[in-house]
């Protein structure tokens, strides 16, 4: 049978005439406008679990006045608030527990499959959590705690798809009643589904669900507040246990190339307006005959990625780690993204793979092997669908523990948001400088890890961006915003002076 109980730590505080007040870990809520059946259900759950006997068609065992039609929506509402959990039991033996992880949690108490074949959902996965084996169902926002070895033993067969009779035949040692209850419970939780005559589950044919990929569903369900029961936000899980990573990565090479520092007062006088740049922004995948110059590359990096200054730890304000201030925002001012440049054609700097040092505004050589450089550029070219090899490939790599030391559930989601912000910053600066920018849809992280000598579990590429000079065709097409003057033009003595630098 299926048991229903309040989750551990949940309790009924008061039973006021108009509402019930319930306390849960980290929350206190008032449930009002409850009908008699719902009120009675909650009152009973507050004293002891209830049994939903699948062999009884009309009532919750021990709760005669609350029939299924009334109980099911109430229980799902309570599951959505993570107040109840469901158990699978045969006699006094508990086989599994299903615990809601998010608001849309749905447990179908009346699910039945008869002897039709069933198969594991492609969204369901097994993992170790807190020294326990769990079955995650992100498509239903439920987590199943696997308590009985017999349940674990039938999962490999369910991955291929089989009927209850097949299970009993292939695992004769399994208790038939326990197996039947386990299958029914897995179906109620959405961990498995009934196979149609065409050999598919509903999730494979539903036009809204069929296009969804497992990793996207699991990632979204585990990183959004309201969908996950993971601790959310800046929780500092390793404070006092592990030291935070430094704000700036140490130099990767003794071969360092200082970059030119642009005259920012001049840049602010002569750059086109923001609205003009945004209207003219395009992804450009063709280049001019002239190479990007070291001065242009230096200005581009200075404007988009340099570290303006370092912020020391400030526990009083809740920042327990070094941070930096830069021209683009980053989650927690942690700036986990490191920039690596693969130079193909840059006037003044030899071809190679370089790491950008944002505080020193310099490049340090990481790899100068022609084969490695060619492979990285070839991969970037394949992402564009063009024949031209990029003049410069910028690879964003995340030092993952810069964020995971502070954020647990949302650390990688924050990395991707940081990459998107840096994309836009690069697009706008490149457009203002009359350069050809283009973000790429992907890149070979294994190839990059080999080229840079990095362990992808510690630091790995997460985004790519290519850059070059504009082709004459783009200039003739009017894609370049007006107002950008030559780097060698004299300063306008009558121009309005730029605003003072922010002293922060």
DSSP 348-413: TS-SEEEEEETTTTEEEEEE--HHHHHHHHHHHHHHHT-SSPPSEEEEEEEETHHHHTTBSTTHHH
Residue 353 backbone phi and psi in degrees, to 5: -105, 125
Residues 436 and 361 in one domain: yes
Quick one: 267 and 149 in the same domain? no
**386 domain residue, yes or no:** yes
Domain C-terminal end among 175, 201, 223:
223
Cα 468 to Cα 34: distance, rounded to the nearest angstrom: 65
The confidence score (pLDDT) of residue 440 equals: 97
Q: Are 171 and 164 in contact (CB under 8 A)?
A: no
Task: Please report whether residue 39 resides in a domain.
Answer: yes
Q: What global pTM score does this model have?
A: 0.86
Which of 229-264 are b and which e, b meaning 16 or more Cβ less than 10 Å from the residue's Cβ?
beeeebebeeeeeeebbebbbeebeeebbebbebee
Specify if 494 maps to a domain.
no
- What does each C-alpha distance from 334 to 337, 358, 440 come to in angstroms? 9, 13, 24
pLDDT at 500: 37
Q: Which residues are bridge partners to 128 per DSSP? A: 133
Q: How far apart are CA 338 and CA 396, in angstroms?
A: 6
| pLDDT attached to residue 293 | 97
Phi, psi of 87 (to 5 degrees): -120, 155
Counting Cα atoms < 13 Å in the Cβ hemisphere of 391 gives 27
In this structure, is residue 20 part of a structural domain?
yes
Do residues 264 and 128 both lie within one domain? no
Phi, psi (degrees; rounded to nearest 5) at 174: -75, 140
Measured from the Cβ of residue 136, the count of other Cβ atoms closer than 10 Å reads 21
* 190 and 274 together in one domain: no
At residue 66, the pLDDT reads 53
Say if 493 falls within a structural domain: no
d(CA 468, CA 345): 9
Q: Are residues 162 and 20 in the same domain?
A: yes
- Total tally of structural domains belonging to the chain: 2
213, 85: one domain:
yes
Q: Cβ–Cβ contacts within 10 Å for residue 465, how many?
A: 25
CATH code of the domain containing 287: 3.40.109.10
Cα–Cα dist 292/351, whole Å? 12
Same domain, 444 and 374: yes
List Cβ neighbours of 214 (8 Å cut-off, separation of 6 or more): 122, 123, 125
Pairing of strands 133-137, 142-146: antiparallel
299 and 185 in a single domain? The answer is: no
Asked if the structure places residue 498 within a domain, the reply is no
Is the same domain home to 396 and 444?
A: yes
Question: In angstroms, what CA-CA distances link 261 with 182, 301, 302?
Answer: 67, 9, 7
> Rounded CA gap, 383 and 443, in Å?
8
Q: In the prediction, which pLDDT does 408 show?
A: 85
Based on the domain organization, do 219 and 269 belong to the same domain? no
Phi-psi region of 62 (alpha: psi -120 to 50; beta: other; left: phi over 0): left
CA angle 500, 503, 504 (to 5 degrees): 140
Residues 331 and 463 grouped into a single domain: yes
SS3 (DSSP) at 307? coil
Domain that holds residue 108: 2-223
Specify whether 287 is located in the same domain as 144: no
pLDDT averaged over 10-residue windows placed end to end, the chain, 504 residues: 90 75 82 71 84 57 55 80 90 92 88 90 95 95 93 93 90 87 94 95 96 96 90 91 96 95 95 94 92 97 97 94 96 97 97 98 98 97 92 98 94 97 98 96 95 96 97 64 43 36 34
The answer to the question of residue 369 being in a domain is: yes
Instruction: Determine the distance from the C-alpha atom of residue 233 to the mean position of all C-alpha atoms in its chain, rounded to a whole number.
Output: 13
Domain presence at residue 277? yes
180 three-class SS: helix
DSSP state string for 211-228: T--HHHHHHHHHHSBTTB
User: What is the pLDDT, as a whole number, of residue 340?
Assistant: 98
CA distance 493 to 85: 73
Residue where a domain terminates, one of 195, 223, 251: 223
């Amino acid at each position: 049978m299926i048991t229903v109980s309040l989750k551990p730590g949940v309790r009924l505080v008061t039973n006021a005439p108009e509402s019930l007040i319930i306390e849960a870990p980290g929350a206190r809520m008032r449930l009002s406008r409850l009908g008699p059946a719902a009120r009675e259900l909650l009152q009973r759950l507050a004293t002891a679990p209830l049994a939903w006997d699948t062999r009884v068609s009309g009532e919750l065992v021990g709760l005669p006045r609350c029939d299924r039609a009334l109980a099911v929506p109430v229980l799902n509402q309570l599951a959505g608030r993570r107040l109840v959990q469901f158990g699978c039991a045969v006699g006094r033996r508990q086989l599994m527990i299903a615990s809601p992880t998010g608001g849309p949690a749905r447990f179908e108490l009346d699910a039945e499959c008869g002897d039709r074949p069933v198969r594991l959902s492609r969204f369901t996965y097994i993992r170790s959590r807190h020294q326990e084996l769990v079955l995650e169902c992100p498509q239903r926002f439920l987590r199943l705690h696997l308590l009985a070895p017999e349940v674990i033993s039938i999962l490999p067969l369910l991955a291929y798809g089989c009927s209850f009779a097949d299970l009993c035949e292939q695992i004769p040692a399994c208790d038939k009643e326990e197996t039947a209850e386990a299958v029914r419970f897995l179906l109620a939780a959405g961990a498995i589904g009934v196979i149609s005559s065409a050999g598919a589950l509903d999730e494979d044919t539903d036009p809204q669900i069929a296009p969804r990929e497992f990793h996207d569903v699991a990632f979204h369900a585990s990183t959004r507040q309201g969908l996950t029961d993971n601790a959310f936000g800046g929780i500092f899980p390793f404070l006092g246990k592990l030291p935070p990573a430094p704000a700036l990565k140490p130099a990767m090479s003794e071969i360092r190339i200082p970059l030119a520092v642009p005259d920012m007062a001049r840049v602010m006088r002569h750059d086109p307006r923001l609205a003009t740049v945004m209207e003219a922004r395009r992804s450009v995948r063709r280049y001019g005959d002239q190479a990007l110059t070291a001065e242009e590359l230096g200005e581009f990096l200075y404007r988009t990625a340099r570290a303006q200054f370092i912020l020391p730890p400030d526990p009083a304000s809740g920042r327990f780690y070094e941070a930096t201030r830069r021209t683009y925002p980053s989650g927690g001012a942690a700036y986990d993204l490191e920039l690596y440049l693969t130079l193909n054609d840059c006037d003044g700097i030899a071809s190679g793979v370089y790491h950008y040092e944002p505080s020193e505004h310099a490049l340090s050589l990481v790899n100068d092997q022609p084969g490695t450089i060619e492979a990285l550029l070839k991969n970037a070219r394949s992402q564009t669908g063009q024949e031209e090899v990029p003049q410069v490939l910028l690879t964003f790599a995340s030092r993952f523990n810069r964020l995971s030391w502070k954020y647990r559930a949302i650390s990688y989601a924050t990395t991707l948001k940081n990459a998107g912000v840096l994309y836009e910053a690069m697009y706008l600066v490149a457009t203002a400088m009359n350069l050809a920018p283009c973000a790429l849809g992907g890149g070979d992280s294994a190839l990059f890890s080999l080229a840079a000598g990095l362990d992808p579990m510690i630091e790995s590429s997460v985004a790519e961006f290519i850059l070059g000079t504009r082709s004459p065709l783009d200039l003739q097409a009017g894609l370049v915003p007006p107002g950008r003057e030559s780097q060698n033009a004299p300063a306008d003595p009558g121009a309005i002076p730029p605003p003072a630098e922010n002293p922060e």
